[in-house]
Structure 1
Amino acid sequence: MNHRGLQLRMAIVGTILFGFYLAIATVAYAAFGIPLAIVLIGSFGLVGIQYVIGKKMAIWSTGAEDMPDEGEYARVHRSVEQFSDEMGIEKPRLMVARMGVPNAFATGRRGAGIVVVSEELMAILDHDELEGVLAHELAHIENRDVLTMTIGQSIAMIVGIAVHWIVMMTGERSIANYFLGWIAGMLAQMLVMVFVMAISRYREYVADADAAAVIGSGDPLARALEKISRGAQSSGNEVDDSVAALCIFGGAERLLSTHPPTEERISRLQSLEVAQYR
């Protein structure tokens, strides 16, 4: 599906993130005399490595395993195959995990996507509600916003590390300066993440709308979100920070939350006109 609003936001945020990245590379080149070729190769290589590691860490942190295509999971595979065909993407790898909370997330990219569904989620949802969640995760892969989020988080981490070391290397070698560098690095990383969050919440609304379009109604996903929210609250658990931004439900709503308020998502789904998100 063509979402100009999301594409424009990703383009703007991508440009800003590249500006942060370029600023760090310029400082490394100008202030510390590191050869430009090494700066570029090293930093671009680090982003690539972080993308691969981030994808694998999301899987490892949940202990996800491949979902069998038979028995109780056969219906899930059929639904995902049908939705993937309708969206014009390759069927992603399906995995199942015990996450301690009812949740699901997508990672990877078109042609190499992965959707992880928690056992707790499948235990509380009716099949049409589960289909709403699956369609939502497939929409993230189709819209390529998972890739943007992963790379954005990697750049934020690189900026944080770089600022930490710049403060340390330009000041006195002391414990106090080390902690000053650590604080400066954390603040710099948070600053970059503000721009990542600028698309994170919007992409959830878009994926909700896409899911409703594929399954023909926003009601099943709205019911699923309500059950997921109640299930998360009653469990007292939260997903690991490494995957929270990718999940359909991000946990406690905070100032820098990666997800919009659940009540607002449910309200929009219940009175959804798909065209309003395009």
Structure 2
Amino acid sequence: MRHTGLKLRMLVVGTILFGFYAAIASVAIAAFGTGVWPFVAVGTLGFVAFQYKFGKWMALRSVGAEDLPEDRYPEIHRMVERLSDDMGIDKPTLKVARMGVPNAFATGRRGAGVVVISTELMQVLSRDELEGVIAHELAHIRNRDVVTMVLGQSIAAIVGIAVQWIVMLAGDNDFADLILGWIAGMLAQLLVMVFVLAISRYREYVADADAKEYIGSGDPLARALEKIQSSSQHAGETRLDDSTAALCIFDSEKGILRSILATHPPVEKRIARLRE
């Protein structure tokens, strides 16, 4: 079985996330009776579906992504076609955006994937380095870990909202309860996201390994990561919000809290693995 480690992690984390959801659903049923169960189920499924569609749209809109013209970039389109064919997936839609930093991300699923490349990335990378980055993003689509990330974020949001309302309704509905509910909801969402982040870091290593396999060497992607890191250190304000940055090949945000809740493993470790 290919990528057994990633699949097992997604299974375990998926089970834990379902456990969080089941706990919240049980509290709702206990509070309002079994008659509320259909509304809980339909509402949850609708929320997740909305989050998936809306999240994809927002990620593209947040960076102003536009279609990558095939007549202007035929070499990139041919490269993606070849890599997609090698990986056994449909060619994703290619888009380009100004992100303020050299970066790229994938969203969507097999058969409906989208890869967004920043104009800054195309300016600083050579052809083989760009190929390594694109192979990395295609691997995310093939491995279906993008969908897992989006669903995990959705369940975290559901748990956070539910805990916030439970705390508020359990009190006197005054301003203090509103603040306490907000804090409790944020902490609950953060707790769920810890499990999602465990997959997020591991999936980057897997996508790096896939890119190394399909382009025949890890050095081009390693060089690309070095250039992306160097350019990001000297870049100004970016157009990437937190949810979109989590999908990118490189997250440039720093700080103690961001290190603890990092969506990506240290770039130095990624480069070392690619060059082993």
Q: Same fold (TM over 0.5)?
A: yes
Q: 1-side partners of 2:210 and 2:133: how far apart?
A: 11
Aligned counterpart, 2:5? 5
- Root-mean-square deviation (Å): 1.1
Q: 2-side partners of 1:236 and 1:199: how far apart?
A: 29
Residue 13 of structure 2 aligns with an amino acid whose one-letter code is V
Within 5 Å, give how 1:46-65 maps onto structure 2. 46-65=47-66
Pair 1:155 & 2:160 matched: no
Task: Name stretches of at least 5 consecutive residues in structure 1 with no aligned partner.
Answer: 272-278
Q: 2-side partners of 1:107 and 1:27: how far apart?
A: 33
Tell me the secondary structure at the aligned position of residue 35 of structure 1. Answer: helix
Residue 66 of structure 1 aligns with an amino acid whose one-letter code is D
Aligned counterpart, 1:269? 274
Aligned counterpart, 2:88? 88
Pair 1:258 & 2:263 matched: yes
Aligned counterpart, 2:169? 169
Residue 163 of structure 2 aligns with an amino acid whose one-letter code is V
Tell me the secondary structure at the aligned position of residue 235 of structure 1. Answer: coil
Aligned counterpart, 2:121? 121
Native 8 Å contact 1:136 1:210 kept in 2: yes
Native 8 Å contact 1:65 1:95 kept in 2: yes
Q: 2-side partners of 1:269 and 1:252: how far apart?
A: 22
Within 5 Å, give how 1:89-238 maps onto structure 2. 89-238=89-238
- Runs ≥4 residues deviating over 6 A: none
Native 8 Å contact 1:64 1:96 kept in 2: yes
> What does the per-residue CA deviation read over 1:20-57, in whole Å, with 9 as the maximum and x for residues that have no partner?
11111111111133611111111111111111111111
Deviation for aligned residue 1:242: 2.3
Q: 2-side partners of 1:113 and 1:41: how far apart?
A: 26
Q: 2-side partners of 1:32 and 1:234: how far apart?
A: 55
Q: 1-side partners of 2:46 and 2:23: how far apart?
A: 17
Deviation for aligned residue 1:223: 0.3
Residue 249 of structure 1 aligns with an amino acid whose one-letter code is F
Q: 2-side partners of 1:49 and 1:149: how far apart?
A: 15
Native 8 Å contact 1:57 1:242 kept in 2: no
Aligned counterpart, 2:68? 67
Aligned counterpart, 1:275? none
Deviation for aligned residue 1:81: 0.3
Deviation for aligned residue 1:174: 1.2
Q: 1-side partners of 2:45 and 2:51: how far apart?
A: 10
> What does the per-residue CA deviation read over 1:87-131, in whole Å, with 9 as the maximum and x for residues that have no partner?
000000000001111100000000000000000111100010000
Residue 51 of structure 1 aligns with an amino acid whose one-letter code is Y
Q: 2-side partners of 1:76 and 1:189: how far apart?
A: 39
> What does the per-residue CA deviation read over 1:113-155, in whole Å, with 9 as the maximum and x for residues that have no partner?
0000000111100010000000000000000000000100011
Q: Percent of counterpart pairs with the same letter? A: 67
Q: 2-side partners of 1:205 and 1:137: how far apart?
A: 12
Residue 129 of structure 1 aligns with an amino acid whose one-letter code is E
> What does the per-residue CA deviation read over 1:216-264, in whole Å, with 9 as the maximum and x for residues that have no partner?
0000000000100111110033421120110000122521100000011
Task: Name stretches of at least 5 consecutive residues in structure 2 with no aligned partner.
Answer: none
Residue 173 of structure 2 aligns with an amino acid whose one-letter code is R
Aligned counterpart, 1:45? 46
- Per mean C-alpha deviation after superposition, the further-off stretch among 55-64 and 23-32 is 23-32
Residue 21 of structure 2 aligns with an amino acid whose one-letter code is Y
Q: 1-side partners of 2:179 and 2:233: how far apart?
A: 35
Tell me the secondary structure at the aligned position of residue 228 of structure 1. Answer: helix
- Per mean C-alpha deviation after superposition, the further-off stretch among 232-241 and 160-169 is 232-241
Q: 1-side partners of 2:126 and 2:220: how far apart?
A: 9
Deviation for aligned residue 1:173: 1.4
Tell me the secondary structure at the aligned position of residue 94 of structure 1. Answer: strand
Residue 170 of structure 2 aligns with an amino acid whose one-letter code is T
Residue 54 of structure 1 aligns with an amino acid whose one-letter code is G
